[in-house]
Amino acid sequence: MRMLERKELFSNVIEINFQAGRVFGCNVYLIHDGDQWVLVDIGYDDTVVEIVELIRQLDFPFSQCKTLIASHADIDHVQGLARAKRMLKTEVTTHRLAAPILESGDRLRSFAHIPAQGIDLEMPIVDVEHTVDEGDRIQVGSRELEVWHMPGHTHNQLGLKMGNLLFSGDSIYRDGCIGAIDAHHGSDMIAFIKTLHRIRSSDVEWLLPGHGPIFRKDNDLLDRVIARLERYLHRADFGTCAVDWPLMDQWEQEVAEGKRPE
């Protein structure tokens, strides 16, 4: 069978949606060096067979898949992990805080079950062989991935820095949007701001997000997003992710003073 031409976006990096010419779901990154390769995220279960077949047509030996890396434990990134693990006969790596969610198939913390929004998805249990945390290294051939802990969107998100590239999960997208913030999901606004400051101050040149187009790091964009989140810290819009609501302090003072509406 004739093999497909590899469409590398950067040296040793293929993004599966871009390779296929259509969007399956979340971004799925294949990082390779020599014969060895890893996947960062896999997406929903119903696209796994097609993604694995595409990888076969790209002439990556299944036996050389070192590990499947989960950037975080959200259903749209990891529902297909168990199936992909079986098909590729490989292992799973994720942040230590994500492992209990994956190994228990926790449908609440993975966002697989949100009754108010009519979301009711299966979350297959998957064993995690390797947990990582801030400062750890994942070796892919001669390439080294530096693990960053990048909380904010969720408490269990990791990032992977490889040279001037950062596989940045759901931290920030090209349009300035960020990953969903929900306190029940382990979101933390203050941690999110710290994560964005870290990206801004780093020597990273390219951000490879969990969804949407890869883009060059833009410090002006990051400054605007950070300023927006800092305002949200003092608003009720984000409920328990905010640290205060100045309007309530004003209201208390106005009640004490007997101030009438103006």
Looking up residue 35, the CATH number of its domain turns out to be 3.60.15.10
* Model confidence at 254: pLDDT above 90: no
Distances (CA, A) of 130 to 91, 133, 158, 232: 8, 10, 13, 36
Residue 5 counted as domain residue = no
Q: Model confidence at 89, in pLDDT bands (50, 70, 90)?
A: very high
Q: Going by C-beta distance under 8 Å and a sequence separation of 6 or more, which residues neighbour residue 178?
A: 152, 153, 170, 171, 172, 192, 196, 225, 229
Q: What is the pLDDT of residue 1?
A: 61
84 within domain boundaries: yes
Mean pLDDT of 48-62: 97
Residue 241 has pLDDT above 90, yes or no: no
Confidence bin at 206 (pLDDT 50/70/90): very high
- Residues 1-17 have pLDDT tens digits of 668 999 999 999 999 99
Higher-pLDDT residue of 3 and 103 is 103
Q: How would residue 255 be classed by pLDDT, with cut points 50, 70 and 90?
A: confident
pLDDT tens per residue across span 34-53: 989 999 999 999 999 999 99
Q: In total, how many domains does the chain have?
A: 1
Domain range for 197: 13-107+123-257
Asked, for residue 235, whether it belongs to a domain, the answer is yes
The answer as to whether 138 is a domain residue is yes
Which pLDDT score is estimated for 100? 98
Residue 2, pLDDT score: 67
Share above pLDDT 90 across residues of the chain, in percent, rounded to a whole number: 84
What is the residue-averaged pLDDT of the chain?
95
Q: Is the pLDDT of residue 127 over 70?
A: yes
Report if residue 146 sits inside a domain.
yes
> How far apart are alpha carbons 182 and 192 in whole angstroms?
12
Residue of 39, 75, 48, 68 whose CA lies nearest to 128: 68
In this structure, is residue 230 part of a structural domain? yes
Contact by Cβ (8 Å): 25, 43: yes
**Cα gap 59→2, rounded to integer Å:** 10
Q: What percent of the chain has pLDDT over 70?
A: 99
> Is 184 a residue whose pLDDT tops 80?
no
CA–CA gap between residue 42 and residue 70 (Å, rounded): 8
> Is the pLDDT assigned to residue 68 strictly greater than 70?
yes
Per-residue confidence (pLDDT) for residue 262, from 0 to 100: 84
Report yes or no on 143 lying in a domain: yes
What is the C-alpha to C-alpha distance for residues 123 and 103, in angstroms, rounded to an integer? Answer: 10
- From the CB of residue 39, how many other CB atoms can be counted at a distance below 10 Å? 26
Helices (H), the chain: 16-20, 48-57, 75-78, 81-88, 99-104, 189-201, 219-232, 246-257
Output the pLDDT for position 117: 84
What is the average per-residue pLDDT within 188-197?
97
Residue 113: inside a domain: no
Rounded to an integer, what distance in angstroms lies between the CA atom of residue 163 and that of residue 218? 17
Q: Provide the whole-model pTM.
A: 0.93
CA distances from 255 to 87, 241, 247, 252, 260 (A): 65, 26, 12, 5, 9
Give the Cβ contact number of residue 204 at 10 Å: 21
Give the Cα separation of 119 and 112 in Å (integer). 7
